[in-house]
Chains A and B, each alone.
Chain A
Amino acid sequence: MSNIPENLRYSKDHEWVLVEGDVATVGITDYAQESLGDVVYIEFPKTGDSFNAHEAIGSVESVKAVSEIFTPVGGEVVEVNEGINDSAEVVNSDCYGGGWMVKIKMNNPGEADAMLSADEYEEYLSANA
């Protein structure tokens, strides 16, 4: 079964966000990393880039597949976890910790509130995955 921490919010595209003030840390879920298999490279947006919610901001490449990262919240990229490209397998081993991808200063924190709770995401997975 997928690991789904209680303290995060989830999107149907299998991203998670951790909200601290008006900054959302975004990563991909355990289900997403498991489906992708061994992750080897992450294509990041640049710090300072702005995106609307649900826009593609980069991609995660595994040996056999590539998956776009859709930001669940709109705003400005304030930090990217670029260092993980030296050991991208951290996205597989620690997707909710060291494998985080970007931090976004949200234009509208309400977008994070509207995301799925852990329970709702689990329900979504069992119905759709």
Chain B
Amino acid sequence: MENLKKTPLNAAHRALGGKMVDFGGWDMPVQYRAGVIAEHLATREKAGLFDVSHMGEIHVDGPDAIAFVNSITTNDVSKLVDGQAHYSALTNERGGVVDDLLVYRFGENKLFLVVNAGTTEKDWDWISSKRGDYDVDLRHASSDYCQIAIQGPKAIGILQKLTETDLSTIKYYHFTTGEVDGVPSIISRTGYTGEDGFEVYADAGKAEQLWNKMLETGESEEILPCGLAARNTLRLEAAMSLYGHELGDDISPLEANLGWICKLNKENFIGKDVLVKQKEEGLDRKLVGFEMTEPGIARDGFPIYIDDEKLGVVTSGSPAPFLKKNIGLAFVPTEFANIGQEIKIEVRGKLLSAVIVPTPFYKREK
């Protein structure tokens, strides 16, 4: 346990009664005293605060920044304007996903990549190895930053009390730099919960100040600190992919329903030829959402049967605290990937019924 990495908020989590677990080598709170259901509902109905400082940050600076990142990711970086971000994927030569990430454009010579915690080192090695002759400086800056996500309908009101920046002018998937409680920050209208909200990046040394201030300011709105368990159930209700589950080195982003971030008409990128071919020839399997139609909970890795044949696997399965259903995501052969298709899921030796439903399971009212 002593070798686990810690975010700058580790002591704060313990002080709040966080139940700490090893999450991909990080000592992180899976939940706090309120528990996963209360944390999940607070984020849907009020506000939730998440420490996501374990995520990785990489600076890409230089005249070839856009061209370089465009050559290693699926989305079209040339379409971004200053102050805009997009969701994208790093792909390998087989068309599999090295990681999913956010690409922020600060300027035509300045991009900022945010990658998953568990894959940060792998991504850094991968990205560095692909630099070639591109005129860019790469800087692994993960330990410089804390990242705090404030999510939910009350998030904007709470954060607005701490900054002069007019948050209402920041559109979804846009960002700005500004001060939060006097701390220079990147304020990004992004998140992983299916709610409106912000992700704030700042100097790691200021993490506790920002965290405590946001909790204190949000107290009247009943903000709750939220652990990884709520983060997972929230993203699952919103049917957002989690690397290592719906995405992986041998999973195509097209299979994972991420065709919308695969710009196959843009200039070449790693794995593009494979994705183009998959698109032309069709996919063997597709990611679908399902809902249990009899009591029981499908969990990650449970086998899926269609017409008595084992044909798929659950990638993420859980009770959905807001929807009050048992839901999941799964890969099934494309021919069965249709809304209304009945499937069976093997739950500890029993075959339980489920049905393929539209995703996202949850979509907030705008």
Interface residues of A (CB under 8 A from B): 37-38, 40-41, 43, 59, 61-64, 66, 85, 89, 92
* Contact A63–B296 (Cβ < 8 Å): no
What does the 1/0 interface line of B294-334 toward A look like (CB < 8 Å)? 01110100000000000000000011010000100000000
Chain A residues with Cβ below 8 Å from B40 are 63
**How many contacts between A and B, using CB within 8 angstroms?**
43
Stretch at the interface among B30-38, B66-74, B254-262, B264-272: B30-38
Interface residues of B (CB under 8 A from A): 19, 30-31, 35-37, 40, 229, 232-233, 295-297, 299, 318-319, 321, 326, 348
Chain B residues with Cβ below 8 Å from A59 are 348
A64-B36 contact given A37-B31, A37-B229, A59-B348, CB 8 Å threshold = yes
Chain A residues with Cβ below 8 Å from B348 are 59
Q: Report the separation of the CA atoms of residues A63 and B299 in the bound assembly, to the nearest whole angstrom.
A: 10
CB of B103 to closest CB in A, whole Å: 31
Q: Which of B37, B296, B297, B326 contacts A38 (CB 8 A)?
A: B37
* Contact A41–B295 (Cβ < 8 Å): yes
Q: Report the separation of the CA atoms of residues A85 and B326 in the bound assembly, to the nearest whole angstrom.
A: 14
Q: Report the separation of the CA atoms of residues A59 and B299 in the bound assembly, to the nearest whole angstrom.
A: 14
CB of B358 to closest CB in A, whole Å: 23
CB of A104 to closest CB in B, whole Å: 21
Counting chain B CB atoms within 10 Å of each CB, the highest count among A37, A38, A43, A89 belongs to A38
Chain B residues with Cβ below 8 Å from A92 are 35
Counting chain B CB atoms within 10 Å of each CB, the highest count among A37, A63, A92 belongs to A63
- Could you give 10 example pairs across A and B, Cβ below 8 Å? A41-B297, A41-B326, A43-B295, A63-B37, A63-B318, A64-B30, A64-B31, A64-B232, A66-B299, A92-B35
CB of B351 to closest CB in A, whole Å: 14
